[in-house]
Amino acid sequence: MTHTIQSLIVSFFHNYLRDQSDCSANTIQSYCECIRMLIQFCCGRDQVNADELDMESIDDNTILAFLDSLEKERGNLPQTRNQRLAAIKSFYRYLALQEPTLMDACQRICTIRAKKTEHKVIEALTEAEVEAILRAVSSETAWHQRDYALLLLMYNTGARVQELADLRIEDVKADDCPQVKLMGKGRKERVNPLWKKTAAAINQWLKAREQAGITSEHLFVNSHRQQLSRFGIAHIVSKYVTLAATTCPSLAKKNVTPHTFRHTTALHMIQSHVDITVIKDWLGHADIRTTSLYVEINVEMKRKALEKCPPPGVEKDEQPLWHQSPVMALLNSIANRSYVE
């Protein structure tokens, strides 16, 4: 081969993912972990060192065996398996361009189908639940003010957790025309307006951190005065959901994460009849089909609400016609009619 395995890997991660595709650090880290595990798997199978591994020996059967091992030995879910497969396909498409001898292997690997997964139900919060979480935050200390500003900003913008962690003070305008600049996937920037209430909460936090002598350029910092991480934000959310559950019992039944706030923002905007293209840009979705999922969820919620209020003459426990099989729906409709042939 013209290129060594080391040069191909370095070129893929630095030249392609970072410089050409401008992928985020999280995406690069995820791809790196996948390729690392694949190489370890192949080295164990062939009993060779990574430097001696022949990339041409890795075919579609090898990839299938590797994916199966992720599920059986590491306990990965089908969704994770599919993410790993997508990373491998991207890696091999790049390799095939660099090394024509890998073109055949690449074509076979790219024909591997993703595993079918169950449709994941997107869970969101009600307005009452959001209010309960915000009310659970006191204003005793600067850190409480940070938490309140963070939670309110999260609901206001529907930002991804990493977008919030990466926010810098310069990205926020909390003046007469408040707005925030968010850096989304693929290094795509978007600007979202803020409620005056959100701007006021941020200003209060900025004053508190200035009085405490915090000089970090990042908007949200931890107790060590360093950038607040995704895990730190998740901990804050969990903390106040637990507190709010004492006054809002429905929260105890939900697994609330920072991403739940993103789903909540999207669903509440749909319910407020905001145009779907506006919501797409608001959330930073690349494909409007992703945003359309919230329309489907909203329709399903309306159907469930309708089921609780059946039309006159229909028992409450009778299954709606749209949930019955065509045959049973026909039989039930005939049975409920009085007519003579």
Helix ranges, the chain (H)? 5-10, 25-46, 60-72, 78-98, 103-110, 127-135, 142-157, 161-166, 196-211, 230-244, 258-271, 276-283, 288-307, 326-335
- Residue 294 is a catalytic residue: yes
The catalytically annotated residue of 18, 89, 144, 185 is 185
The catalytically annotated residue of 84, 146, 160, 209 is 160
- Residue 160 is a catalytic residue: yes
- Residue 185 is a catalytic residue: yes
The catalytically annotated residue of 262, 263, 268, 280 is 262
Nearest 10 degrees: CA dihedral of 77, 80, 82, 86?
-170
How far is the C-alpha of 200 from the C-alpha of 169, rounded, in Å? 14
* 297-298-302 Cα angle (round to 5): 115
180 neighbors 157 (Cβ within 8 angstroms): yes
Which amino acid is present at 152? L
- Residue 262 is a catalytic residue: yes
182 neighbors 190 (Cβ within 8 angstroms): yes
Residues designated catalytic:
160, 185, 259, 262, 285, 294
